[in-house]
Structure 1
Amino acid sequence: MAGSGGEATGGSSGGPPSGGLVTDDFEGAMLDPAKWEIGGNGQGTVELTTEQAHGGQKSVKVTVTSGQKLFINKSVFPLPNGVIHFRVWMRFTNDQWQNHLAFVAAGPGPESQEVRFGGQAGYYHANLAGDYDGLSPNPFQPCDICTPPVANQWVCLRGMFDFANDDARLYVDDKLAVDATDPSDWHSGNGNLPENPTQIGFGWALYGAPMNTVYYDDIAIGYEPIDCN
């Protein structure tokens, strides 16, 4: 996945480029309603801010005190080959990730059926909510790719969910942090990604983790790998 495929550099005007790619640098006056809707049952806020920015002057600020709060894209669905890729720059203020949290979630809609990227046990992880709440990498075994979070700096996340082949991968600043390609890569369950996905969301979800303030910028979503550049 690294360094190949459809590259995107942000941009908030117009529709998705050819190939189904959606990009946003969040420099407008509000979240683009053609691309995003707010979801999640948690307590918190999703808003544009000038407090932090990776590129330009603005980013999306997500503050969550309980539950899940996301800004969600549905326009890239249905997926022509069952695969979705994303690239996002993210900055968070709390790196205490011992308890479960999530920041990217995709699936058919219900929170209980999501596949997520997030963290637990002090590292980035994938999580299958509908398959025995499996985690990958296994937080209870030695792990060569386990990557700890670092607070108060921008990090590039490149991720992929392959719903057709039950595959999930996440790169943190181009370092492989999640490589869930086989049922044995999950600490429990069968490694089955949800069927019939209809949305992907970015934000924050607390499942025992402390509250956090997170900033998102320069998001790109599509059907091919997307560079950090």
Structure 2
Amino acid sequence: MLRQVALAALSVLPLTLGQVAEDFESGWDKVAWPEYAPDCDQGGSVVLDKTTAHSGKNSIKVTGGTNGFCGHKFFGTDAIPSGDVYVRTWMKSAKALDDSHVTFITMPDSAQGKGKHLRIGGQSKILMYNHESDDATLPDLSPDGIAASKSIPANQWQCLEYHLSPDGTIATWLNDSPVKGLVYRPNNPASYSNGWKNSKPKPKIQGVYFGWESYSGAANTFWYDDIAVSSKRIGCAVKK
């Protein structure tokens, strides 16, 4: 259910800055968190899973189809703050990332043009950002770039948070620790971010959607729980 963030004792997020938070304990509100499968929809699924959760009893389970790109499936929200955007999700992957190019968070991005997305996923066994419009990646998939990012293990809940700034700055945390390779500073770009620098590094996202998309037929299952979207840093200690 779409709602304002309810503060708990551990919360570091002021109520006035809260935007959206969901733990799915009241079920899956398909109006507030609709399915999303742009261009084609062949084989993926999104369901409420009452057997697996990061907290409580429920999470959302996304199973990607085997039909390559058209086997993609997502769910999410278009309740995005203007200006700075912070997104935090707890997620679990049935399989570790391999060399396949995949996406598990996709965001419609008008800065890239109509129908194009800013994507978070993996390739070369690491986490990365990707522009749909020109396939630029952050980090570059060079030895230095790969070494600067992180992988995610199979079947373990991970807390992923990222920040998108109007000036193009990107910051990313995995389990509250910064991920060096997933940071972009327009005024001081890293040596492994040349492709990103030459692309369109000022995102204007209209939504954020969680799921699975593969470009080589790779199939996987992801679970998502305790999602929050805000204009300020959220952190992993805050449940919602």
Q: Which TM-score band applies after superposition, normalised by the shorter structure?
A: 0.7 to 0.9
Q: Which residue of 2 aligns with 1:9?
A: none
In structure 2, the partner of 1:47 is 47
Q: Are residues 47 and 18 of structure 1, via their aligned partners in 2, closer, same or farther at CA, if it must alter by over 3 Å?
A: farther
Is the CA contact 2:104–2:212 (under 8 Å) kept in the aligned structure 1? Answer: yes
Correspondence for 1:188: 195
* Closer/same/farther in 2, CA of residues 175 and 145 from structure 1, 3 Å limit: farther
Q: 1:222 is matched with which residue?
A: 230
Q: Please give the alpha-carbon distance, in whole angstroms, between the structure 2 residues aligned to 1:187 and 1:95.
A: 27
Corresponding position: 1:198 with 2:206: yes
Q: Distance in 2 between matches of 1:206 and 1:96?
A: 11
Structure 2: segments with no counterpart, 5+ residues: 6-14
Which structure 2 residues correspond to residues 3-22 of structure 1 after superposition, within 5 A? 12=1, 14-15=3-4, 18-22=16-20
1:174-228 Cα shifts (integer Å, max 9, x gaps): 2323112246553535241465421111111112261001100000101111110
Instruction: Give yes or no for the alignment of 1:114 onto 2:117.
Output: yes
How many angstroms apart in 2 are the aligned matches of 1:45 and 1:222?
A: 27
Deviation per residue, 1:109-156 (Å, 9 max, x gap): 7885211111110100111112x2111111123244321220010000
TM-score (norm 1): 0.82
Give the number of the structure whose residues are more often helix, by fraction. Answer: 2
Number of paired residues?
Answer: 212
TM-score (norm 2): 0.79
Instruction: Specify the code of the residue in structure 2 equivalent to 1:87.
Output: R
CA RMSD of aligned residues (A): 2.3
Distance 1:113 1:80 in 2: 19
**Is the CA contact (8 Å cut-off) linking 1:96 and 1:210 kept in structure 2?**
no
Residue identity opposite 1:46 in structure 2 = V
Tell me the SS of whatever aligns to 1:188: helix
Aligned match of 1:24: 22
Higher strand fraction (1 or 2): 1
Tell me: CA distance 1:21–1:133, structure 2 relative to 1, closer, same or farther (3 Å).
same
Task: Confirm or deny: 8 A CA contact 2:108 2:115 kept in the other structure.
Answer: no
User: Amino acid of the residue matched to residue 44 of structure 2?
Assistant: G
Give unpaired runs (5+ residues) of structure 1. 1-11
Q: Name the CA distance, whole Å, in 2 between partners of 1:113 and 1:60.
A: 25
Using the TM superposition, give the Cα deviation of residue 58 of structure 1 relative to its aligned residue in structure 2, in angstroms: 0.7
C-alpha distance in 1 between matches for 2:212 and 2:26: 22
